[in-house]
Amino acid sequence: FLRRFGNSPLRRFSTMPPANPLQKDFPLRPLGNSSLLVTPVCLGTMTWGLQNTAAEAAAQLDYAVKQRGINFIDTAELYPVPSSDPRWAAGITEEYIGAWLEQNQDLRKDLVIATKVAGFIPESDVPRMRAADPAATETEKKPCRHDRESIIAACNASLRRLKTDYIDLYQLHWPDRYAPIFGSTAYDPKSEREGSIPFDDILRTLKELLDSGKIKAYGLSNETTFGVCQFVRGADALGMPRPVSIQNSFSLMHRSFETELAEACAPKNFNIGLLPWSVLAGGTLSGKYLGGKKPEGARHVLYPNFMPRFHADNVMEIVGKYAEIAKEAGMSLTTLAIAFCRSRWYVDGNGSCIIGATTMDQLTECIDAYKVELSEEVLAKIDAVHLSCRNPTQGL
C-alpha cells in the first residue's frame, strides 16, 4: 500500500524541481504565484513557549533544517497558543526563532520565514505586547485590527523578535471582517460588524511593506472564497502583487477547502498555494486519544477547552475508522493523515504541508510521513469514510 514519490502531483507543475541549497530530503517548489521556493513540508511552531522550551525549539529547528533540509518555518505574533495559559505572552515563539536565527545567520538566506498579524479581537493584550518593552507600556487591552497602524506595528515587532531584516511571507492570521471560521460554517448577516477595514486599505498597507522590503510576499489565512477574490481584485486594481498563499484548516476531518476555494486558488486561476494547518486535528489524528486515553502532557489534556471540536465524541468515532484504514495499510494513523494531505494537488502542487510536534519522535514521524504515497485503494477507503460523515469537526 505504500509507494515513494513516483507520480507526485508536483510533476504536473514542474518537470525539474529547483535544487534545495540545504541538500537534504526534499526538493523545492514555488509557493503559489510567488518567487519564494519552499520545501513541501513546513515546520509549524505554535507550541513553542508553552508546551516546548527554547532549547526544545532550537533542537527542532536544528533537526528539521540541518538534518532534513526543511527551509520553510511558520509562526505568528500570537504564538504560542492557547492565550488562556497564564504563562502566555504574544511573540514568545518568534523570539525563540529569532534566537536560533541569530546563532545560524549563515542559513538565513536559504530559509523562508513566515509569520502572521493577528486578526480582529475586540480586546487583547497583543497590541501592547508589540512594544519593545511591554512592561513599560499601558496595561489596557486594545482591539486587534488590520488598520495601517496595527499592521505596521505588528510587522515591526515581528522583525525585532525574529532578529531579521525581512519577513519572507507575511500573513493575515484571520480576517478583520466577520466571517464564519474556526469551526463555524454558516454565514450570518446579523454577525457583520460595522467599521471593518476595507480590503483595499489592508492591501495598501501590505504594498507599503512590500515596497519597503520589510516583507517579500503576503498571504491569507482562515479566509473564505469571497475574501480571496476580493484581495485578488484589489491587488490587481492597485497594481501590486496578489496574495501567494492561504493558510486554512485542512485534514481528514475537515476537507471543505477542496470545493470552491480549491477552484479559486488553483494554479490556472489565482495560483494561491494552500498551507494546511492542523493536519492532525490538534493531535487527534495521531490516535493518542482513542479509547478515552488522556496522555500526560497532550494538548487536549492540558487545554480541554482549546479547540474542543477536535476531540468531540462524534469526531473520535470517525478517527477510529481512519485508524482501522491505517492499520490495514501497515502504517500509523499519523502517517495516513499526513500522506493524505500530500495526495492533494492543492498541497503538493503549489503549497506546503505545515507539521508541528512537541517531541523529536513526533517531528521525525511527521516529516517521514510526507514521503509516503497512498495507494488508490487506501484513498478510496478514506473517501468512503468522509462521505459517511463529512467534516465532523465543523459546526454551523
**Helical packing angle, 333-342 and 376-388, nearest 10°:** 100
Q: Which residue has the cell 486535528?
A: 281
Closest CA to 47 of 16, 7, 88: 88
Closest CA to 101 of 158, 155, 49, 46: 158
Active site residue 178: no
Compute the distance between CA of residue 80 and CA of residue 358 in angstroms, rounded to an integer: 12
Tell me if 186 sits within 8 A of 121, measured CB to CB: no
Q: What are phi and psi of 363, to 5 degrees?
A: -60, -45
Q: What are phi and psi of 54, to 5 degrees?
A: -60, -40
Strands (E), the chain: 2-4, 29-30, 37-38, 41-44, 72-74, 112-117, 121-124, 142-144, 167-172, 215-221, 245-247, 273-274, 353-355, 372-374
Compute the distance between CA of residue 282 and CA of residue 19 in angstroms, rounded to an integer: 32
Q: Which residue has the cell 460554517?
A: 185
Cβ atoms within 10 Å, residue 293: 10
Grid cell, residue 116, equals 502572521
Active-site pick, 79, 289, 322, 346: 79
**Helical packing angle, 360-369 and 54-61, nearest 10°:** 30
Residues 6+ apart with CB under 8 A from 234: 199, 200, 203
Grid cell, residue 45, equals 511552531
**Catalytic site positions:** 79
